[in-house]
Chain A
Amino acid sequence: MNRFKPLLAALLGAGMLASVSVAFSPAMVASAGGYTPSGSAVIGIQEQPATLNPIIGPAMTYTGIVDGPMMPNLFDLAQNGTLVPDLATVVPTLQNGGISKNGLTYTFHLRPNVKWSDGVPFTSQDMIETAKLMQNPHVNAVTTEGFTDIKSMSAPNKLTVVTTLYKPLASYLSTCWSNFNISIIPAHVFDTVPPSQVNYFQYNEDPVPTLGPYKFVSWTHDASIVEVANPLYWGPKPHIKKLVFQIIPDQNTLLSALQAGNINLYFGVPITQLSTVKAISGVKLYEYNQPDWEWAQLNLKNPILANVDVRRALEYAIDRSAIVKYVLKGHGTLIADSQVPGYWSYDPAIKPYPYSPTMADKLLNEAGWKMGPGGIRVKDGKQLVLTYSTTSGNVPRAETEQIIQQNLLQVGIKLNIQNYPASTFFGTILYHGQFQIAEYEAGGAADPDLRTWRADSCQAFPPDGSNYGFWCNQTVSKLLTEEESTMDITARKAIFNQIAQIEASQMPSLYYFAAQGVDATRGMNGYTPNPFVMNTFQAYNWTLSK
């Protein structure tokens, strides 16, 4: 019936429109201004999630944002990326016996007296059902990473789960059982659903029940998703009764909604709006490091880019400080490799290349590229011309390209720019290696291993990984394999530092910067951004200003 109410409004709206416009009394104006309902926080998001089922793909930031308050996991990720217990009572370690000495067996102790929002107790079966579905080939799992390494699972009792892996996997806990991108699903709902039907199951758009401080109420597609405080939540009671995730695709409208006081939280404020947002009365701005970085992968199948001197010359020739200063307005940190600030594996001792056209000149000369007519370098009768690609319609990237094009021309490299819509760029150009230099943001994972392995390992060429540049360094591949099975975090950090040094010296990709995340709140307190998880997972801390 609700579906037809708008139709009624359409038919009557035309007639009413004039009278409503004319009949706006000052009293009505005042009530329209006080828009945010009491006890509700309105969160503006740019896209709607594809699904609300946390185990179903495609992986989307917006699924995580909306699921955050409803769907916890065994462990949360702290600000520094380390694990803290949530639905489990303790983080398994070698020291507490939760991880066996050979690194293959993990024992999980689940929190007692936890109930799903429908009153059914949370038990070990929920964890086992989640893993089973993630491993099932019929399920469009958001990721199979880590789950395919599980050899067996057992539940000695209702609150204990033992998993055994095929091989030691250092990132197992954070990849499979942290709230980075998945959550636990209810076994008592899914155990009767054939795996082939999970992709189309009602729970995907109507996720009832859940385990978090909030529970699902409604989803009006492309309009809003509503959640309400879950009275059965075991942890801290939320202060705000209702959360409304309002889908607002246009960034200018999001800004206007913040200005008008129609939204309380604006995720991902673009750099271009920062000064305007800062000027809004009562707005709090949150700037934080993220485990993501902007880079340009180099296609090493291209004979020009296969030369390490040319790759290093490119990094020296690009004034990345200017990009951070002018394009990001200072909201980014230069990086030297794939271990970015925010990761525990980051080593500040490895410095980014300085901007040095002189060094670039020297390296290009050593590589045999001599300055030719028109200021373009020449080797064996061929000019040094490269093609640079990224996603079209992205203003900061377009500005970045302009700076890079000018920088490279100064050292005798002609850069042609060929951009593509995001779907074409990722689906065709990058994946099928139809590029020479491709700039995009590498989304980091909870554990630094994941992205680095996928980008650097000789075993990670497409379609088995995202090593789109086809860089193969046997030492790095060996170190990555060693790091994967090392449980001690200090030893892992040492290995990552070795990999970072090799990356910095071989420059398989051009490392640019790690941009800061920027969120804004208005009329809301208690918001704490976290670089590793969606910032909504601690929504129980949020309060509305009086």
Chain B
Amino acid sequence: MWAYIARRVLLSIPIMIGITALIFLISHSLPGGPLAMYLNLPTITHAQIEHLTIQFGLNKPLWMQYVSWLGKALHGDFGRSFVDGRPVLAVIGDRVPATLELMVTALIISYLLAFVLGVVSATRQYSAFDYTMTVLSYAGMAMPVFWLGIILILVFSVDLHWLPTFGMVTPGVPYSFLDNVKHLILPVITLVVYTLAQESRYVRSSMLEVMQQDYIRTARAKGAPERRVLYRHALRNALLPVITVMMLDFAFLISGALITETVFAWPGMGRLFFDSLQDGNYPVVVGMAVLVSLAVVVVNILTDIIYAVVDPRIQYS
């Protein structure tokens, strides 16, 4: 097992380098670029543009820019943001807590509910409950996130005055945990609706497939109580594909949720990535890509380990 993990970690190094090279190349190939925000200023001079080009290192060939970046990145220096001159890690670090707060809360709630609703739907297939959940799931998946967010704001903030419209905390007042949670409710609901709709369908399908298997029939034939059949034999096996999807969700949670963050003015990673891409802020774009790639690689390894725990048939040598 340990040899397997070591092999996976070593293999991930060239993968990470390949990803950074690709992201570096793609982001630098996009039209516009970091000087766009300066070029439309009527007072900008040729000398200023030339100086900025040198300051940002854009005067060097692309491969030299990449090698220089990689050398520094290996020493923990991901460069500075082209927009505000701050170190990339500080810029990203500012957003990580806000992103985790929103995404972890939303994913935990989504998964808990998805398991319960998915299993119940599967065990009561074609019941009124199952049909209702099917309709609600499709509605949840079809509903545009920005629309749902605005509707929630209109109902709970504008009309009922129950919850705040934007941000993580009430601006200008000392931090309070309860205030933070109040701000969390609407964006979390917005994210949960979509994720829950997807995941509950996935759990349901997985459960239904497992329940058709021979070993479930055997378990029932042996006289095992239905509860034991469902939760010991069926659910455990149904978990395997679901774990893969959910772990990948966790890997990508670090990248944030652009639309929800924008609608609720939540200062997360999704907005940072989008703004950086628009501004041609390559150091931040590449820095975030590295972070997300790292999360995916780590989560993949963790998923493999969890597989072995959940399914004793799987062994790594």
Q: Complex: how many Å from CA A259 to CA B153?
A: 10
Given A58-B38, A140-B52, A256-B154, are A220 and B267 neighbors across the interface (CB < 8 Å)?
Answer: yes
A247 — nearest CB in chain B belongs to which residue?
B265
Asked whether, in the complex, the Cβ of A10 is within 8 Å of the Cβ of B104, the reply is: yes
Q: Complex: how many Å from CA A242 to CA B172?
A: 8
Given A204-B85, A250-B262, are A223 and B167 neighbors across the interface (CB < 8 Å)?
Answer: yes
Asked whether, in the complex, the Cβ of B84 is within 8 Å of the Cβ of A252, the reply is: no
Q: Complex: how many Å from CA A58 to CA B43?
A: 11
Tell whether A257 is near chain B: CB-to-CB under 8 Å. yes
Cβ proximity bits A349-368 to B, threshold 8 Å, 1 near / 0 not: 00000000000000000000
Cβ proximity bits A254-275 to B, threshold 8 Å, 1 near / 0 not: 0011011010000000000000
A262 — nearest CB in chain B belongs to which residue?
B165
Given A32-B161, A244-B172, are A445 and B42 neighbors across the interface (CB < 8 Å)?
Answer: yes
Task: Please give the distance in Å from A432's CB to the nearest CB on chain B.
Answer: 9
Residues of B contacting A488 with CB < 8 Å?
A: none
- Determine which residue in A11, A259, A427, A428 has the highest number of CB atoms from chain B within 10 A of its CB, and name it: A427
- Determine which residue in B37, B94, B188 has the highest number of CB atoms from chain A within 10 A of its CB, and name it: B37
Cβ proximity bits B271-307 to A, threshold 8 Å, 1 near / 0 not: 1100000111000000000000000000000000000
Tell whether B128 is near chain A: CB-to-CB under 8 Å. no
Residues of A contacting B120 with CB < 8 Å?
A: none
- Determine which residue in B80, B166, B177 has the highest number of CB atoms from chain A within 10 A of its CB, and name it: B166
Asked whether, in the complex, the Cβ of A6 is within 8 Å of the Cβ of B101, the reply is: yes
Asked whether, in the complex, the Cβ of B32 is within 8 Å of the Cβ of A223, the reply is: no
Given A57-B38, A420-B31, A430-B40, are A141 and B48 neighbors across the interface (CB < 8 Å)?
Answer: yes
Q: Complex: how many Å from CA A260 to CA B38?
A: 36
Task: Please give the distance in Å from B67's CB to the nearest CB on chain A.
Answer: 23
Asked whether, in the complex, the Cβ of B162 is within 8 Å of the Cβ of A32, the reply is: yes
Residues of chain B in range 47-66 having any CB-CB distance to chain A below 8 Å: 47-49, 51-52, 55
Asked whether, in the complex, the Cβ of B31 is within 8 Å of the Cβ of A223, the reply is: no
Asked whether, in the complex, the Cβ of B80 is within 8 Å of the Cβ of A200, the reply is: yes
Residues of chain A in range 1-42 having any CB-CB distance to chain B below 8 Å: 2-14, 16-17, 20-21, 24, 29, 32-33, 35, 37, 40, 42
Tell whether B194 is near chain A: CB-to-CB under 8 Å. no
Could you say which of A42, A57, A242, A427 contacts B32, with CB atoms under 8 Å apart?
A427
Given A6-B97, A248-B265, A252-B150, are A423 and B158 neighbors across the interface (CB < 8 Å)?
Answer: no
Could you say which of B39, B168, B172, B185 contacts A6, with CB atoms under 8 Å apart?
B168
Count residues on chain B whose CB falls below 8 Å from chain A CBs: 78
Tell whether A145 is near chain B: CB-to-CB under 8 Å. yes
Q: Complex: how many Å from CA A445 to CA B43?
A: 9
B52 — nearest CB in chain A belongs to which residue?
A140
Asked whether, in the complex, the Cβ of B265 is within 8 Å of the Cβ of A59, the reply is: no
Could you say which of A13, A148, A204, A454 contacts B184, with CB atoms under 8 Å apart?
A13
Tell whether A466 is near chain B: CB-to-CB under 8 Å. yes
Asked whether, in the complex, the Cβ of A426 is within 8 Å of the Cβ of B100, the reply is: no
Q: Which residues of A contact B (CB under 8 A)?
A: 2-14, 16-17, 20-21, 24, 29, 32-33, 35, 37, 40, 42, 50-51, 56-59, 137-138, 140-141, 143-145, 148, 199-200, 204-205, 220-224, 226, 242, 244, 246-250, 252-253, 256-257, 259-260, 262, 420-424, 426-428, 430-431, 440, 442-443, 445, 450-451, 454-455, 463-466
Inter-chain pairs besides A40-B172, A253-B153, A450-B42, 4 sampled, C-beta below 8 Å: A6-B100, A14-B109, A431-B40, A445-B43
15 A–B contacts from the bound complex (CB under 8 Å): A3-B97, A6-B101, A10-B97, A10-B105, A20-B178, A32-B161, A37-B173, A40-B171, A51-B85, A57-B38, A250-B263, A256-B165, A257-B166, A423-B36, A424-B32
